A and B are shown apart, each in its own frame.
Chain A
């Protein structure tokens, strides 16, 4: 906060009012509704509802498909973070090194960042369709690819679709992180250590730690929430429901299955997960990792 501030009885509220009003109506009202749904049970015909305690949560926990979705979401975030992070870092290191054409590479590598996940999904659809799909044919020739029956093949499908555009985001942030490292540190390290590879892992990579942690959070959030459009335009959860993320499952149960209680309980569990990620982010990123 500023040391010098305006003293006024009402004008601060004039500045805060528009945002608070929008948040109150379009955010807090639905959130309160979510909590209400999670703790009430509606009868099958939607005529009445009654307080249900933790019954909805118990129902979700006893549902094996919730754990399938949980497992897939964890695997999906882990693999996407690993693939996009390492390819993004590799490309950023190369782009930072080259003397000629740096800006051309940069521009041509960052534009997929702007494409909507749902559009990427529709595109991936064509490459994995039995009729036109180049990747479908390629994988089919290699080991008999069949994503609507084989779980592993379906994983490959959604992982490729989900990773493609996220490589750009990782590239942008790693490149910015590399460019922020002071030239003098790099020059000094060249004198001390001749090996390029060793110098990268002992000097450059530790200096990139804040960027890396920031990107891990960004990638996990992406895999949890933004991939909705990708799942909904590619496998729709196929083969059975093995490629449904937690968010996608909550949507299907609530909007298609009209089970508000279960969807509400699932949303609250997601909020708790997000809360943990955020606490982790604050403690480890803001507190511990400071090399600059």
Chain B
């Protein structure tokens, strides 16, 4: 009997937690399916309306923005280019750098190690203004390279891969060396296939991280052609139900990725802890 009561309490607490997480988003979603006129007179809605297709297609395909130069579809395209660029670049450079650090005798190993990992202390938010000046000196304002490169300059992924390599038994390299395998071949044929799960986890992490960037695209894009979804949210003009619909659409890509790949993501992170 007491067991039933305690398990009921467990479920009740969890249900309250679920409601806190779901209800706000549901209200915005339900409201996004009504017409703006209806929202303006009746406030936020809890039940679905019948303007779903109309509102969402208008937001996706109609040109908007301050100069009416960009559609939400184009913003999604920009966000995807930026996020996958950041994820790809940081996976490749970090995978290689971690290999160089762990598997080689390096003359100034300590200096190089600190040169890479001290960067964890300086997030982009702390060097935003000088970064902008550097980018404009390099003529990278309003380019995808400008959106991608400074955010890829991070050692977080290198840290993860380094930990992972250290957990691989030494015998693997000994055997490879007996066979006379070159360092490049060892990297491509042994380490990369072994790190598959880690690579996937880091890629997902960096993709969501890149997609969710707000401040950097805000500063780096003066032309609407390069606006991304998350920064466009604040600046996009339109009726209230258009804005609701855009908020809902903006969260779909990262949420879908985390929900469907949660196992891979969590596994990848905890392999290292």
The answer to whether A binds B is yes
A residues contacting B by CB (< 8 A) are 1-8, 11-16, 18-20, 22-23, 25-27, 29-31, 33-34, 37, 87, 90-91, 94-95, 97-99, 101, 105-119, 122-123, 126-127, 131-134, 164, 167-168, 171-172, 176, 196, 225, 228-229, 232-233, 247, 250-251, 254-255, 260, 263-264, 267, 270-271, 274-275, 278
Chain B residue nearest to A137 in the complex (CB) = B43
Contacts of B270 in A (CB 8 A): 176
| Distance to closest chain B CB from A37 (angstroms) | 7
B106, B126, B152, B243 — which one has the most chain A CB atoms within 10 A of its CB?
A: B126
Provide the bound-state CA to CA distance between A94 and B12, in Å: 9
Q: What is the CB-to-nearest-CB distance from B76 to chain A, in angstroms, rounded to a whole number?
A: 14
Residues of B with C-beta under 8 A to A20: 97, 112, 115-116
> Is A263 touching B129 in the complex (CB atoms < 8 A)?
yes
How far is B143's CA from A246's CA once the two chains are assembled, in angstroms? 29
Is the Cβ of A16 less than 8 Å from the Cβ of B127? no
Supposing A116-B211, A172-B266 touch, asked if A19 and B99 sit within 8 A by C-beta, the answer is no
8 contacts between A and B (CB under 8 A): A5-B105, A31-B127, A101-B11, A110-B259, A116-B213, A134-B43, A167-B21, A232-B234
- B233-A33 in contact (CB<8A): no
Which of B50-58, B66-74, B88-96, B195-203 is found at the contact surface with chain A? B88-96
Size of the B side of the interface (Cβ < 8 Å), in residues, is 93
**CB–CB A33/B173 < 8 A:** no
A255 touches B116 (CB 8 A): no
* Beta-carbon contact of B234 and A118 below 8 Å: yes
Do B44 and A134 touch (CB < 8 A)? Answer: yes
Q: Which single residue of chain A is at the shortest CB-CB distance from B133? A: A33
Judge whether B130 is part of the interface by a CB distance below 8 angstroms.
Answer: yes
Shortest CB-to-CB span from A287 to chain B, Å, is 16
- Supposing A23-B116, A98-B10, A119-B250 touch, asked if A8 and B183 sit within 8 A by C-beta, the answer is yes
Contact call B123/A87, Cβ cutoff below 8 A: no
- The yes or no answer to B255 lying at the interface (CB within 8 A) is yes
Q: Could you tell me if A94 and B170 are in contact, using CB atoms closer than 8 angstroms?
A: no
Known: A90-B13, A112-B21. A260 touches B129 (CB 8 A): yes
Extra contacts besides A116-B211, A116-B213 (7): CB < 8 Å: A34-B129, A98-B14, A111-B258, A114-B208, A134-B27, A176-B270, A267-B127
Interface membership of chain B positions 98-135, coded 1 if the CB is closer than 8 angstroms to chain A and 0 otherwise:
01111111100100100110011111011111111110
Residues of B within 8 A of A114 (CB): 208, 212, 251, 254-255, 257-259
- Let me know if A228 and B215 touch, CB within 8 A: yes
Q: Is B18 located at the chain interface by the 8 A CB criterion?
A: yes
Q: How far is the CB of A20 from chain B (nearest CB, A)?
A: 7
Question: Is B96 touching A123 in the complex (CB atoms < 8 A)?
Answer: no
**A26 contacts which of B97, B104, B131, B244 (Cβ < 8 Å)?**
B131
Supposing A20-B116, A31-B130, A233-B234 touch, asked if A123 and B100 sit within 8 A by C-beta, the answer is no
Across the interface, do B121 and A275 meet the contact criterion of CB distance under 8 Å?
yes
Q: Which residues of B contact A260 (CB under 8 A)?
A: 129
* Pair B130/A34 contact, Cβ less than 8 Å: yes
Check B13 against A91 for contact (C-beta < 8 Å): yes
A263 to chain B: closest residue by CB: B129
B25 within 8 A of A: yes
- Closest chain A CB from B79 CB (angstroms): 10
Residue B150 at the A interface, CB < 8 A? yes
Q: Which parts of B230-252 form the interface with A (CB within 8 Å)?
A: 230-231, 233-234, 240, 243-244, 247, 250-251
- Cβ contact within 8 Å between B18 and A118: no
Chain A residues whose CB sits within 8 angstroms of the CB of B127 once the complex forms? 27, 30-31, 33-34, 267
Bound together, the chains give a CA A31 to CA B153 distance in angstroms of: 12
How far does the Cβ of B75 sit from chain A's closest Cβ, in whole Å?
Answer: 13
Cβ of B24 < 8 Å from any Cβ of A?
Answer: yes
Whether B264 is near chain A, meaning CB under 8 Å from some CB there, is no
Instruction: Find B105's partner among A7, A108, A229, A255 (CB 8 Å cutoff).
Output: A7
Decide: A16 near B126, CB < 8 A? Known: A23-B116, A278-B121. Answer: no
Nearest B residue to A245 via CB reads B125
**Given A18-B92, A27-B127, A94-B13, A11 and B184 contact (CB-CB distance below 8 Å):** yes
Contact B17 A176, beta carbon cutoff 8 Å: no
Q: Kindly list chain B residues whose C-beta atoms are within 8 Å of the C-beta of A101.
A: 11
Question: A118 to chain B: closest CB distance in Å?
Answer: 4
Q: Choose among A113, A127, A229, A275 the residue that contacts B258 (Cβ–Cβ < 8 A).
A: A113
Contact (Cβ within 8 A) A19 B233: no
Expressed in whole angstroms, the Cα–Cα distance for A196 and B250 within the complex equals: 43
CA distance A111 to B20 in the complex (A): 12
The answer to whether A108 touches B130, judged by C-beta atoms less than 8 angstroms apart, is no
- Whether B214 lies near A19 (C-beta < 8 A) is no
Q: B153 to A22, Cβ gap below 8 A?
A: yes
Q: Is B81 an interface residue (CB 8 A)?
A: no
For residue A238, give the distance in angstroms from its CB to the closest CB of chain B: 15
CB distance from A120 to the nearest CB of B (A): 9
Give complex CA distance A271, B127 in Å.
10
Closest to B127 in A: A30
